[in-house]
Copies of this chain bind each other. A is one copy, B any other.
Amino acid sequence: MAETSILINGTWRPARPVGSFRAFDPSTGVPLPELFPVSSREDVLEALEAGRKAALELAARPPETIAGFLELFARRIVERAEEIVAVAHCETAFPIEPRLRLNELPRTADQIRQSAEAARDRSWRRATIASKLNIRSMYGPLGGPVVVFGPNNFPLAFNAVGGGDAAAAIAAGNPVIAKGHPGHPSTTRLFAEIAAGCLAETDMPKATLQLVYHLNPEDGLSLVAHPWTGATAFTGSRAAGLKLKEAADRAGKPIYLEMSSVNPVFILPAAMRERGEQIAADLFASCSLGAGQFCTKPGLVIFVNDDAGRRFVEAARGLFEQPPSGYLVGPGLIGGLKAAIAKMKLQKAFVLVGGTETDGPGFGFANTLLAVHAWDFLRSPDVFQQEAFGTATVLVFAPDVEEMTAVAEALGGNLAGSIYSHGQGEDDGLYRTIEPLLLRGVGRVLNDKMPTGLAVVPAMVHGGPFPATGHPGFTAVGIPAAMLRFAALRCYDNVRPDRLPEELRDKNPTGRMWRLIDGEWTSRDVFS
């Protein structure tokens, strides 16, 4: 059987493969028929060469052309929604409804539309003008292709081709070299087919979006470190992320990683007394969403082990004892969960519910509730802050609020952290102690809400300090902020008026673009 072609410089052509692979149906554990190539270094170099040329071409395209492409791409995705959803369902076993059809696909199209709108609007460039000195600066494309590594857990919204990273990179004027996740290659191929059609229709460089399905690790490392690469976006495991980070860092290439988070949830004592059972229901719902395969899954729950705390544990136990709601997307995740649980047990964690894989068929794992005493957590905080995908979470029993605070002190970098507190203010003193400690280590702090469920709005931050990501100043979700990952800041000093990019000329190019002129955010022209 022939391997599926890759998309290089606008052409579908056979890979020069160094291997091949098939995806699995997670609900049966059986490999799917389509055979995909593991690309070689030659494939990568060809993509880089085409991407480097496309970067220069794309930098000269009007934003309206880029926006037009993205809008068409979003429209075609919606038109072909049923096909995309069906293929993604085969490859991930995520429910068609509500997950794929009603949540993830609309979000995917919406992100692309928002990116298009941002490209058209141009305010994302944060044009800054010192009018008297004729010094003008703005964000612009990087000058080389952006490499996007898609993760296993969002076949659509974080797809290497159809997901938010690719859309943000292109909206900022960069071509993309997508490295699809091997868990859902047919879904990725389908996105790339749609994208390639849209590129051809909209006067875009044909190498704006290229696709390889898989790479050997060493070829991935050389790709992110290549002199022609503009930057890399990676969403995936910490182990793989750290290796890519090392290679990119050494080469001085920006890399944005979203590589693990346990998203601690603090339940303060009066809130626990007030509504512990409701919070247990929130926890289980959040934790079991997508069978626990969310970057923002609450993986650590800290509370005082008093009477109310014990009632909370009983309520949670009851909920977690249900059979699992879905499958893990790949066979590796079962091993990951088992290893994490074994390590935590060595550090005195105990299993309250689950802890083992389910009987076949498919990649199933029992809902798992672990617990550890705060003093044991504090002895090995790193072991309890290893992300493991699956409906599994660790309850941290604190004897008192001082130990809760000590746990907050010991936390590493996370994407999000929640604090549940009493509705009438009874926890407010403790909130003021814990919040600054939590805030130091997270990209997003929540009140009375679990961390799953990201609204794709400009104020969202899906980021946070290392090791949740590689840099605390960026976000992977939220347009236009997410585009700034794929942008270079450039100044035009004494450049003649007719040579300035439109965005920096005296006349506002759209009449609506926001610019910071002499200290004032305005959509007016520069008055000379």
Contacts and interface: CB of A to CB of B under 8 A. Distances in A.
A473 B514 contact: no
B449 A494 contact: yes
Contact of A495 (B55, B447, B461, B472): B447
Interface stretch (A41-49, A285-293, A342-350, A437-445): A437-445
Contact of A130 (B128, B437, B457, B514): B457
B431 A499 contact: yes
Given A435-B499, A455-B133, A473 B484 contact: yes
Interface residues of A, number: 77
A445 B246 contact: no
A226 interface: no
Contacts of A446: 493-495
A516 B124 CA distance: 12
A474 interface: yes
A6 B521 CA distance: 43
Interface stretch (A88-96, A249-257, A315-323, A398-406): A249-257
A383 interface: no
Nearest to A445: B492
Interface stretch (A61-69, A137-145, A209-217, A370-378): A137-145
Nearest to A413: B252
Interface in A390-438: 413, 416, 431, 435-437
Given A142-B472, A436-B56, A459-B137, A496 B254 contact: no
A437 to B, nearest CB: 8
Contacts of A473: 139, 254, 484-485, 487-489
A459 B143 contact: no
A18 interface: no
Contacts of A143: 439-441, 465
A60 B492 contact: no
Given A458-B519, A514-B521, A491 B133 contact: no
The 5 A-B pairs at the shortest CB distance, nearest first, are namely A252-B466, A521-B521, A461-B491, A143-B440, A472-B488
23 contacts: A128-B459, A130-B458, A130-B459, A133-B457, A135-B460, A137-B460, A137-B461, A137-B481, A143-B439, A143-B465, A246-B249, A249-B249, A252-B470, A253-B466, A439-B490, A444-B493, A445-B493, A447-B495, A458-B516, A461-B491, A463-B489, A465-B488, A472-B489
